[in-house]
Chains A and B, each alone.
Chain A
Amino acid sequence: MSEPPLLAKKTKLRRALAFKRSYFCFPYAVLCVIFVVVPLCILLGFAFIGPDDTFSFDNFAYFFTHAENIKTMLFSMGVAALTTVICLVIAYPLAMCLANSKINKSALLVLMFVLPMWVNSLLRTYALQNLLIDLFGMQRGFVSALIGLVYDFFPFMLLPLYTTLANMDKSLIEASHDLGASRVSTFLKVTLPLSVPGIMSGILMVFMPTMSTFSVTEIMGGADTYMVGSMINELINGGDWGGSAAFSLILLVLVAGTMALSNLLSKGKSTDDALGGVL
């Protein structure tokens, strides 16, 4: 009745060995282990290597016992938070306008906001420096650096917001209006909660890059806009691998923290879609 046992075994084996579609990710999995996981592990190792090549907490001790290091870290976080808030406050209404079919019908306008992103970011910052400092005679300092940061990272906030708002089900808003809600309460109770994934990915795309940047603050600012990025850069230029690894590790912990927080806030809803829609 049934197949001979040897044949059954053979087909089973063949089926198990057959090429599956999922095998196409093996090369990338290997590359990820070699070039993402291993470097991060080495980074971890380096952070705990002291000046005489032995295991020590010296690098971290150096960080936490020097007030100026902690001050720079907090200052960077503050600057990043301020930049993120300014970007959000400007980008949200703009994204709403762009996503509203009665105000804007063309995808071209959205693309025009992305276009500056394709010019090298340092060239863009250089252009802004020319405009603000050379042409308008502005003083290099905190304000000019902040403008530079907002200018540079603005598209990264705008795009996820636009993608979420444009893909939102418009009938929900109509339903809210039909049920007698005012514009303001429709916005607060329908539009805003539905756009949370977009806001979250916008915040992720702006906060961490701003915090760890040093090119923008160095080109646009002065001595009073010294950020963590500059600190790490100086350690590397000084040949202090351990110190720079330790500082990077602290940043990495912060990244993980923001990630966890954003996952918590968007209630586990993936922000991948909004990220993937950046272009």
Chain B
Amino acid sequence: MKKNKLYLLGKVFIWLMLAVMYLPIVILVIFSFSGSSGIGAWGNFDFTFDLYAGLFTNEQIMSAVANTFIIAGVSCLFATFIGTISAVGIYYLHRPFKNAMSAVNRITVINADIVTAVAFMVFFIVCLNYLDGYVALIIAHTMICTPYVILSVMPRLGQINPNLYEAGRDLGAGAFRTLFTIILPQLIPGIISGAVMAFTLSLDDFVITLFNKGSGLETISTLIYSSTKHGIDPTFRALSTIIFVGILAVLIGINIYSASRRKKAKLAGGNV
């Protein structure tokens, strides 16, 4: 009896925390349908799509959105590729080198964003003489995302049969062919979660982008930051809503997909 009460309390706690986490976003979504400049004016809540119309005609915001996604997409691709093959390499390295690589790999993960950002900034100034903002950001984002890909691929490597690689080589496949046809397919879950993480990290990044973007290039983060100084444009409410709904849709999609796969696997298992 007492135990059941405790479990109920736990459930209430979980849902309460979820409500707190989502309240700001929900309020933002509701007020994205109101044209009023501030939030909280329930009295003159007029239901309009003005903010959405304004969003798609606002060139500054649209180009920031495009920049953000292009940079995130490209650096996610690079980070996933480099991270995956490096994870294989590091996993089979011998002791002193393995520890050294793991340590270097952890520098960017543990380091404060702002230190990484300043380090990249002075590096680009000294060595690459004010590189183009796009290239600089893609390099910087790739380097901050790769360690996370490695960290999520590495545990999967421990689960695969090491003899398969040797078998592939013995049967005459080259190292690259063995890597791509035998090792990588078994790492796919780790690669996907690493890629998702890399993409999100790049999307979410603010400080590194701010210090290395140069002039003229804006991403969502830097645009919001610069506009907070003179009152945020309510159009951002519409943008937040679209991004949030998009993410929600992807999440639900993944869930339905994995549920149907589980069902299929169950059915297949039942037939045998």
Contacts and interface: CB of A to CB of B under 8 A. Distances in A.
Interface in A111-168: 111-113, 115-124, 126-128, 130-131, 134-135, 137, 151, 154
A279 B194 CA distance: 8
Interface string B128-143: 0000000000011001
Majority secondary structure of chain A interface residues (helix, strand, loop or mixed): helix
A4 to B, nearest CB: 25
A237 to B, nearest CB: 10
Given A23-B175, A120-B204, 17 more contacts: A21-B179, A22-B90, A31-B82, A43-B122, A97-B14, A115-B248, A120-B221, A122-B220, A122-B224, A130-B24, A130-B40, A131-B28, A212-B115, A215-B225, A248-B114, A248-B119, A276-B155
Range, interface on chain B: 35 or more
26 contacts: A21-B89, A22-B89, A24-B89, A26-B89, A28-B146, A29-B101, A32-B105, A42-B119, A43-B118, A94-B17, A97-B14, A104-B14, A117-B204, A119-B247, A120-B203, A120-B204, A120-B240, A121-B221, A123-B224, A123-B236, A134-B39, A135-B27, A212-B113, A214-B207, A275-B109, A278-B197
Contacts of B33: none
Contact of A121 (B179, B196, B206, B247): B206
Contact of B28 (A96, A98, A127, A204): A127
Given A122-B220, A126-B224, A209-B113, A38 B40 contact: no
B86 A22 contact: no
B11 interface: yes
Interface residues of A, number: 87
B40 A27 contact: no
Contacts of B220: 120, 122-123
B7 A102 contact: yes
Interface in B24-40: 24-25, 27-28, 31, 38-40
A267 to B, nearest CB: 17
B155 A103 contact: no
A245 B27 contact: no
B27 A130 contact: yes
A113 B86 contact: no
Contacts of A23: 89, 175
Given A20-B92, A26-B89, A130 B39 contact: yes
A229 B206 CA distance: 12
A86 interface: no
A212 B114 contact: yes
